[in-house]
Each structure stands twice: as C-alpha cells, then as structure tokens.
A = this chain, B = another copy of it.
Amino acid sequence: MDATPPLSPTERSTVRRGAKRARSDRRDLYAVLDAGLVGHLAVVLDGAPVVLPTGYGRHDDTLYLHGSTGAATLRAALAGAPVCFTVTHVDGVVYARSVFHHSMNYRCAVVHGLARPVTDPDEQLLGLRALTEQLAPGSWDTARLPDRKELAATAVLALDLAEASVKIRTGPPGDDERDLPAPGDPDPVWAGVLPITTVLGRPEPCPLLPAGTAVPARVSGRTPVPAG
C-alpha cells in the first residue's frame, strides 16, 4: 500500500492555467512545503483579502501555523474563516525570444481549507515543535521551551493537507516556432534560464554572546534544501 496517496483535486484545487505543470504526487507537496521557511497566509477580513508572510511547520498531513493571539488574520482563521496558504520557491528567470514567453521556473504549493484552532496542549507543543524545527532545526532541543505565559500568547492553527495543489515549472523557454533562430543567424536573441538559489551566509553571533562562543553545527552546517 502506498503511504502517500495522490493529491485528489477538488473544484478549487484543480490547476486550470498551465495544467501541464500540475503535479498530483503528494510527495511533491511535501517536498515544496519542507523546502520553505515562509508561506503566505490569506484570509478574508471585512470582505477583502489580506495576505501576510508567516512561518509554518508540517507534521505528516497537517500544516501548523502560529501567531500572536492578537493578530487579526490569526483571529479570523481561528474563528473558522476559510484560509489559503501558499509556499513558493523561485528557481529561475526564463528568458525567451519573445516577451510573451518570458517566464519563471518555480515550485509552488497551494493549500485551501478551514484552519482548526489547536487547543490540546500536547498538539500545541507538537505544532510549535514542527514550526521551530522548520525554521531552525535543532533549536527545539537547545533553546528554552515556551512557558505557560508564552503558550497563552501564542495561537496555533492546524490546516489539513487535504485540499492542495502543486505546480512546478522547470526547463528552458517554450518559444513559438516562428521565434526560433534561422540556421546561420549571426546574432540570435539569447534565450535560456538564469537560475536562482537561496544561500545561507556566515552566522552572525548575537552581540550579547560571550566572545569565542562556538557556532554549533546545527547552524553552521545547515544547508538549504536543494531545488526539487
């Protein structure tokens, strides 16, 4: 039995534009989500959409989000309003022979649903751990864990990965036949891909850290998850 059932598209999670870029393998969804640090959470407030960047973490088929209990977007999601959460990686600029076919290489996951307020203390910790480890692997076991007051100030939301879509574009430009260079063209328009990668730099110690404190491997040895 396959442990990762395919994504089953619903009406709104069906990719309509650029359908050939859609992926239906749930492992693609995991890969796109697991490679990110920030997603964009959209809610409806007073009839208008609001979209803000936010950290997240995944545990199996549940996505965890968190935020201050005072944040309006979080409060709307907590109240049972529908949400949409999107994680995007930009992998390259696609230069084509025509402006029309310029594009980007990217990986994008879109999750729709109703966020569930996490009230069980064990699940709250599980969610916060997933969030912390997504942002800073190893920190959950080394930093001070949240105390009662901090937990009370933190809303944790769970979003089932039930209704989701994944789109991935890779490869060279898809130019029209008419725009391709004629044989022997001495000055063809350059076309191709300019890759984009995310790079982690040299750790910058907190000024309040005693001089000479070693940078732990969980920080210095960290590498970004490679592009899918």
A-to-B contact residues, CB < 8 Å: 12, 16-17, 37-38, 40-53, 55, 67-68, 70-72, 82-86, 88, 90, 92-93, 95-100, 102, 104, 106, 108, 110, 112, 128, 132, 135-136, 139-140, 142-146, 150, 154, 172-173, 175, 179-181, 185, 188-210, 213-216, 219, 222
Contacts and interface: CB of A to CB of B under 8 A. Distances in A.
Given A191-B208, A208-B175, A98 B51 contact: no
B222 A194 contact: yes
B110 A51 contact: yes
A42 B50 contact: yes
B198 A194 contact: no
A17 B180 CA distance: 52
Contact of A86 (B40, B46, B136, B179): B40
7 contacts: A17-B67, A44-B44, A49-B49, A51-B85, A181-B210, A191-B208, A194-B201
Copy tally for this chain in the complex stands at 2
A147 B72 CA distance: 45
Contacts of A70: 16-17
A104 B98 CA distance: 38
For A37, A43, A99, A216, the residue with the greatest tally of chain B CB atoms inside 10 Å of its CB is: A99
B40 A88 contact: yes
Contacts of A206: 172-173, 175, 191-193
Nearest to A216: B190
Contacts of A205: 190-192
A135 B194 CA distance: 11
A151 to B, nearest CB: 9
B196 A199 contact: yes
B110 A52 contact: yes
Given A51-B42, A70-B17, A128-B99, A195 B190 contact: no
A222 B93 CA distance: 11
B172 A192 contact: no
B99 A143 contact: yes
B53 A49 contact: no
Contacts of A83: 49
Contacts of A190: 142, 205, 209, 213-216, 219
